Structure 1
Amino acid sequence: MAKLKSILKKEVQDFIDANINADITRIILSKSPFADVDSKTLAQQIEAKRKAKSKLPTWFKSQKIIYPKNINLQQSSSELTANYKLKQIKGQRIADLTGGFGIDTFAFSQSFSKVDHVERNSELSEIVQQNMASLNVNNVECHTTTAQEFLSTQQDKFDYLFIDPSRRDASQNKVFRLQDCEPDLTKELHFYLSKSEKVYIKTSPLLDLDLGIQQLKNVESIAIVAVQNEVKELLWLVGQESLKDINIKTVNIKTNGTQESFDFNWSDKSIEFSNYAEPQKDSYLYEPNASIMKSGAFQHISKYFNLKKLEVNSHLYASSEKNQNFPGRVFKINQILDYKPKLIKKELGGEKLNLSARNFPIKVEDFKKKYKIKDGGKTYVFLTTTISQRKIILICDKIN
C-alpha cells in the first residue's frame, strides 16, 4: 500500500492533473520528479484518468483517486450503466462478489445500507478501499478473498448477490458463454442462491437470451442495457422460484443521461402479428434501437406502436402518423428509389450520406465504393427489402 499511498500525495496528484493531456510516451521516457513514484506509474495514472473523464466522470472530478491497471479499467462498468443498476434493486445488504474497480459497488452503496466488495486481487482491493474513502462512502467493506471463501464465512442471508463473471479464459482470450466464464454459473448458481434471496448477474451482450434463460433457470427479469445505441451488458435477476413470465427491460442510455425505455414480457415476443406494408413517400420510418434489436421483440413493437413492418427480416417499420415515443430513431421518407444502378448513380453518386442496410443483398461498404459515396451530411439512406421482395432505397431526414 505504501506505493499506492505515494500516488495520493498532493504534488503527485498535481503533476497528474497538469499532464492530463501530455504525451504518454514522453512521460514514460522522462525521469520521474518523485523518488517514490516512477515514470511508468505516473504514465499509467495519467492515461487511466484521461479515460475516466468520459467513462467515470465522478472519479475523474474527485480528488485522491487511484486508478488500476488498464485491463481492470477496461472491464469495469461505465458510470452510466452502474447508475442504471442502482435504480433497479435496493435493500439492506448486497455483496459484489466480483468487485473489480468497484464502480458497481459504489452505485450499490447508494441503494443498500451495506455493501460488501469482494475482490481476490489484493492491490485492486486496496485501491477500492482507498477510493471509497476519497468518495466519502462509509457503508462499503472490502474483502480480499474469493467469492466462495467469503460466502462460506457468512451466516446471514443477503438480500442480493451481484456477480459479473470474468469473460477472459486462462489465455486471456475473450469469452461470453456462461460455462466459459469464471465463476461458471451453470455449476455454482445453486450455491449462491443458498446464500441470498436473489442473484443479480451481469453478462456479455453476446449471450443468447434463450440460452441464458435455459441455463439460469429461475430468471425473473432481463435488462438489455445499451449506451449510445450499443448494447453494453445484460442484467439477469434470478430468484428462488420460476415465474410464469419474465419481464424484459430494454434501455438505451444517452450520454446526456436521458433514456429510451421499453418493457415487455418474454411471452409477448412469440405473439403472431402480421402487419406489413410497402413504405410511402412522406410517411415515417422507424429503426429500433440496439436494445430492442437484441431483445428480438420485432412483432411486439409493431403491434404496440401500431406500425407497419416493411418485411419479416428487415426490422424497419413505417406509419403515416409520427410516433415520438418510439424507442429508436425516427425518419421522414422524402424519396423512394428502386434499386436500379443507373438511377442510383444519377441520384446518389458522389454524395455525402449516412447509409444503413437492412436485409439487402449488398453491404454498405460495397455500395459506397460502387457509387463513390462519402460518409456524412444530413441525409439518411436505408437500403432494404419490402414485403413484396422489392429492393428499394429510402432517402430520409432524421426527425429524432
Structure 2
Amino acid sequence: MIHDLAQSNIQQFIRDHENDDVRELVLKKAFIEGTPSSVIANQIACRRKAKEKLPLWYNTAGIIYPPMVNLEQASSEITAQFKYEVLTNRINPPFPRIKGGVGVDLTGGFGVDSFFISQSFGQFHYVESNAELVEIARHNHRQLGSTNITHHCTAAEEFLQAFPGTIDFIYLDPSRRTTGSKKVVQLSDCLPDVPALLPALLERSSLVLIKTSPLLDIQRGLNGLRSVRNVFVVSVANDCKEVLYLCQSGFSGEPVIHAVNLQSPDDEFTFCISEEKKAAVEFSYPLAYLFEPNSSLMKAGAFKVTAERYGLFKLHKNTHIYTSDKLSYEFPGRIFKIKSLVTPSEIKTVFATKQANIISRNYPLTAEQLKKKLHLRDGGSDYLIAVAGLKKKYLVAAGRIK
C-alpha cells in the first residue's frame, strides 16, 4: 500500500483535494486510481492535521501518513525538536557520548521523535513492533533526508536482548492505550512497562529519556522511576503537552525540574522539590497586579517557590494566582493590572460591552458558570478574574499587560 500511495498521481490527488470533505469522497468512489478511497481519505485528513502539527512533514513531497490514531499519538514537531535540544544544549555537564554515539528509540511509532533525536547521533536505531508503522517511518525518513537511522520491526525487550553493541542513549514514549484502546496514565500500565524495564535500560545505556502524559502526577512519576536527574514539563502556547524524565545511570541526587513554555522562551522556570518544600510564602488581598503562572509552572507544582523567587504574595494557599504592588516582567506567565474590585451588581456598569475574558481560580463558580450568571460573553480586551482570598472571595476587573 505504501508503494501505491507514494505514486506521483496519488500524491498529486491528495494535495489537490486537501480541503475536500473526506466523507463525501468515500461515498462517491470506492477506489481512486486503483487505491481504496478510504485509504486516500485518511491521507488527506492526516495531511490537514500535519499542516500545523508537523509542518516539515506537510511541506515534504512524498510523505505517507499512518492511521489517524497514530498521528494523534505522535509528538508535534516543536516538542520533538525540544528533545533534540535537551540532548545537545541542556545536559550540564555535557554527556561525552551524545555527539557521534549510538541512540535508540524503543517506541518508534510514526517516527517524529526518532527523526529529530537521531540528529544528535552517529548511528540511530528506530524500534517498533507494528510492521506498517515501521515501513511508513522508513519511507518518510528517507524522504526527509535522514541517512543514519536503522529501522527494526520488533518489540523493545527483544531488541535489547538481540542488539550486541554499545548504546549511549535510549528514548521511550510508552503507549498509553491498552489492547482495548482504553487510555491509561500510570507508567506501570503503559506498554512497555517502563518501571519494570528501566533497570535493564540503565544497564545498557547511561542516559534514558522517558516521555509521559501531562496527566501523570510528577511525584508519582519520580516514585516509579529511578536515577532521574532532570524533569522537563513542556508546554506549547501555554498548553501542557508532555513531561520528560531524563534518567542517568548511577545518578542519586535530587532531580532538577524545568517548567518550559516553548513559544515563550523567557517563561522558563527551574527549581527542585526541596526548594518548594522550604519556600516561605506570605499572603495578601489583591494589590496592584495579578500574576497567573503558565501551565508548565502549574503542572510542575512550583507554587510557593514562585512567590518567593519573584517577591510575590499569594491570595490563598490553594489559589495559584499571585499579587504585588510591583511589576515583574520576568514572571513566567500572564500579568494583569487591576482596575477595580467589583461586586456582581456592578458588573453591568464595569463591563458595559457585556464582554470579558473570565478566569476562575479556587472560586465556587467556574468561568462558564460565571459567564452565564453575570450575563457576559467571551471576548474583548477586558478580564474578569474570580479568586478566593484568605478571608473573602474577589471579583477583579483587570487588563492584561503581559
TM-score by length of 1: 0.94
Look up the SS of the partner of 2:267 in the other structure.
strand
**Cα deviation 1:166-197 (Å, max 9, x = unaligned):** 10112211101011111112212111112111
| Alignment gaps of 5+ in structure 1 | none
Look up the SS of the partner of 1:217 in the other structure.
coil
In structure 2, give the amino acid aligned to 1:325. E
For 1:66, the equivalent position in structure 2 comes to 64
For 1:7, the equivalent position in structure 2 comes to 5
**Cα deviation 1:76-132 (Å, max 9, x = unaligned):** 000011011100015112100000000000111222222111011111100100101
Matched residues in 2 for 1:269 and 1:321: separation? 23
Contact 2:205 2:249 in 1 (8 A): no
Matched residues in 1 for 2:214 and 2:177: separation? 15
Look up the SS of the partner of 1:100 in the other structure.
coil
- Structure 2 residue 228 is the aligned partner of structure 1 residue 253: no
Q: Paired residue for 1:41, among 20, 39, 56?
A: 39
For 2:397, the equivalent position in structure 1 comes to 395
Matched residues in 1 for 2:52 and 2:239: separation? 16
Q: 151-160 or 323-332, which moves further after superposition? A: 151-160
Matched residues in 1 for 2:216 and 2:48: separation? 31
Q: RMSD of aligned C-alpha atoms? A: 1.6
Look up the SS of the partner of 1:123 in the other structure.
helix
In structure 2, give the amino acid aligned to 1:24. V
Q: Paired residue for 2:367, among 349, 356, 364?
A: 364
Contact 1:73 1:101 in 2 (8 A): yes
Shift of 1:268: 1.1
- Structure 2 residue 177 is the aligned partner of structure 1 residue 179: no
Contact 1:157 1:197 in 2 (8 A): no
Matched residues in 2 for 1:156 and 1:329: separation? 49
Q: Paired residue for 1:83, among 81, 84, 88?
A: 81
In structure 2, give the amino acid aligned to 1:315. H
Matched residues in 1 for 2:346 and 2:31: separation? 66
CA gap of 1:258–1:244, structure 2 versus 1, over 3 A, is closer
- Structure 2 residue 273 is the aligned partner of structure 1 residue 273: no
Look up the SS of the partner of 1:80 in the other structure.
helix
Look up the SS of the partner of 2:381 in the other structure.
strand
Matched residues in 1 for 2:153 and 2:12: separation? 30
For 1:235, the equivalent position in structure 2 comes to 244
Look up the SS of the partner of 2:34 in the other structure.
coil
For 1:343, the equivalent position in structure 2 comes to 346
Q: 348-357 or 268-277, which moves further after superposition? A: 348-357
For 2:384, the equivalent position in structure 1 comes to 381
Matched residues in 2 for 1:215 and 1:10: separation? 49
In structure 2, give the amino acid aligned to 1:186. P
Matched residues in 1 for 2:180 and 2:32: separation? 36
Look up the SS of the partner of 2:174 in the other structure.
coil
Matched residues in 2 for 1:342 and 1:377: separation? 20
Shift of 1:349: 7.8
In structure 1, give the amino acid aligned to 2:328. N
For 1:353, the equivalent position in structure 2 comes to 356
**Cα deviation 1:25-48 (Å, max 9, x = unaligned):** 121123367443221111111110
Contact 1:125 1:144 in 2 (8 A): yes
Look up the SS of the partner of 2:380 in the other structure.
strand
- Matched residue count: 391
Query: Percent of aligned positions with the same letter in both sequences?
Result: 37
CA gap of 1:178–1:33, structure 2 versus 1, over 3 A, is closer
Shift of 1:363: 2.1
- Structure 2 residue 306 is the aligned partner of structure 1 residue 301: yes
Contact 1:349 1:373 in 2 (8 A): no
Contact 2:279 2:308 in 1 (8 A): no
For 1:164, the equivalent position in structure 2 comes to 173
Shift of 1:16: 0.7
For 1:109, the equivalent position in structure 2 comes to 118
Contact 1:250 1:291 in 2 (8 A): yes
Q: Paired residue for 2:324, among 319, 331, 335?
A: 319
Task: Give the ranges of 4+ consecutive aligned residues of structure 1 lying more than 6 Å apart after TM superposition.
Answer: none
**Cα deviation 1:41-67 (Å, max 9, x = unaligned):** 111111100000000000000001000
Q: 341-350 or 301-310, which moves further after superposition? A: 341-350
CA gap of 1:221–1:117, structure 2 versus 1, over 3 A, is same
Contact 1:27 1:42 in 2 (8 A): no
Matched residues in 1 for 2:85 and 2:344: separation? 51
Matched residues in 1 for 2:315 and 2:49: separation? 41
Look up the SS of the partner of 2:304 in the other structure.
helix
Look up the SS of the partner of 2:122 in the other structure.
strand
Look up the SS of the partner of 1:374 in the other structure.
coil
Shift of 1:215: 1.3
- Structure 2 residue 203 is the aligned partner of structure 1 residue 194: yes
Contact 1:87 1:111 in 2 (8 A): no
Shift of 1:312: 1.3
